[in-house]
């Protein structure tokens, strides 16, 4: 399987557990993964989740995401504020927007709402995408209620 061809493409990835993730893939070389993570295997990173080649059961390029958000965003929200912050600091606006939608749907289950509010305020201040800013302002208001 040539996973490098999916670099910077919108993909649907099925991992070895059968879970399906969608996102913009960034290819990590063997050298990069070894240097950063100590693993001599190439991989694809979707948002802040890294899949090594041996963990990928199936992958395909897609034109559109199948839902407003998916497993990737759910994993980030479940994991908490550190991964949310990592996604917010990335340049992939589609990942940020999908994460905001997931946060909105799971607002009652979230911990560390004060930290989340600060992250959202920073997102509003520094992000330039109107769609993201609008959704972030909506979430800011809900968090301040």
Tens-digit pLDDT profile for the chain (145 aa)? 999 999 999 999 999 999 999 999 999 999 999 999 999 999 999 988 999 999 999 999 999 999 999 999 999 999 989 999 999 998 889 999 999 999 999 998 888 999 999 999 999 999 999 999 999 999 999 999 8
pLDDT score, position 145 = 85
Among candidates 65, 57, 60, 54, which has minimal Cα distance to 92?
A: 65
User: The dihedral of CA 43, 13, 61, 131: what is its sign?
Assistant: negative
Report the C-alpha gap between 32 and 16 in whole angstroms: 22
Within 10 A of 141 (CB to CB), how many other CB atoms are there?
9
> Do the Cβ atoms of 31 and 11 come closer than 8 Å?
no
> Which residue spans of the chain are classified as CATH 2.30.30.100?
3-61
Residues 6+ apart with CB under 8 A from 2: none
Range 3-61 has CATH code 2.30.30.100: yes
> Do the Cβ atoms of 22 and 12 come closer than 8 Å?
yes
Distance of CA 56 to the CA centre of its chain: 17
């Amino acid at each position: 399987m040539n996973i490098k061809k999916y670099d910077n493409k919108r993909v649907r990835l099925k991992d070895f557990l059968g879970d399906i993730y969608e996102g913009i893939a960034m290819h990590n070389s063997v050298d990069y993964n070894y240097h950063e993570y100590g693993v001599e295997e190439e991989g694809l990173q979707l948002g802040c989740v890294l899949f090594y080649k041996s963990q990928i059961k199936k992958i395909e390029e897609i034109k559109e995401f199948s839902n407003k958000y998916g497993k990737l965003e759910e994993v980030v929200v479940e994991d908490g504020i550190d991964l949310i912050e990592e996604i917010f600091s990335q340049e992939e606006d589609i990942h940020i927007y999908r994460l905001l939608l997931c946060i909105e749907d799971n607002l009652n289950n979230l911990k560390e709402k004060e930290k989340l509010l600060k992250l959202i305020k920073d997102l509003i201040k520094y992000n330039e995408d109107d769609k993201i800013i609008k959704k972030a302002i909506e979430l800011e208001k809900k968090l301040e209620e």
